[in-house]
Amino acid sequence: MVLCVVCGRENARYRCRNCRAAYCCSACHKTHRDPERPNHCESIQPPSNETGGKNEVEESTDRTDAKEFQTLGSKNGNTALEGHDARLKRGREGETNFIEGERDEDGELVVLGEAHLSELAHDTNIRKKLLSSELQQLLRVIDASRSRIDALEAAMANTPEFKEFCDEVLGVVSAAERGLRPGM
């Protein structure tokens, strides 16, 4: 469970491209980018003489460590200090969700993680199939549909090539899942 750096809500699904801070919605992202607000984005600066030769990773770690006792508003309006251990634990869980994806209560994968997306992007069969203009158009129609699930099910029932593509995608995701969880 990842907390939004702006409003403190749980299940922050998005991350800042510059500093990797988690946020829950576009309004929080805009607030996070505003340099006049607390918790604003501190984008990584190139190494200079002032940093003593530290690289970007070390500078990012230093910024994270500097924020570890930052005062955050709790849900009932009180303030609380977050300790180092709680922040590190939450950071590890957030990175795991980002890499492995998010799961529901039953343990089913509901949002693909970076590892799954990387496998899909590098699969040559999927890349070849995505060159088809018919498949591209069908994917656009499904994405623009009001009920994407219904449109997806209809496309799978009516278009054998699309069903084959979906089966291939599920196979790649399943293989990536086995790679992430060797005991499966």
The answer to pTM > 0.75 is no
Residue 67 pLDDT: 43
How many domains does one find in the chain?
A: 2
One domain, residues 57 and 27: yes
Which two three-digit tokens encode residue 86? 């709680």
In a domain, 4, yes or no: no
One domain, residues 21 and 94: yes
Which two three-digit tokens encode residue 96? 């795991």
Last residue of one domain, picked from the residues 75, 100, 125: 100
Angular region, 176: left φ>0, alpha ψ -120 to 50, beta rest: alpha
One domain, residues 89 and 118: no
Tens-digit pLDDT profile for the chain (184 aa)? 678 888 888 888 888 877 878 888 888 888 888 877 766 777 644 344 444 444 454 454 444 444 433 333 334 343 333 433 443 344 444 444 555 556 556 666 567 777 778 888 999 999 999 999 999 999 999 999 999 889 999 999 999 999 999 999 989 988 887 877 665 5
Angular region, 41: left φ>0, alpha ψ -120 to 50, beta rest: beta
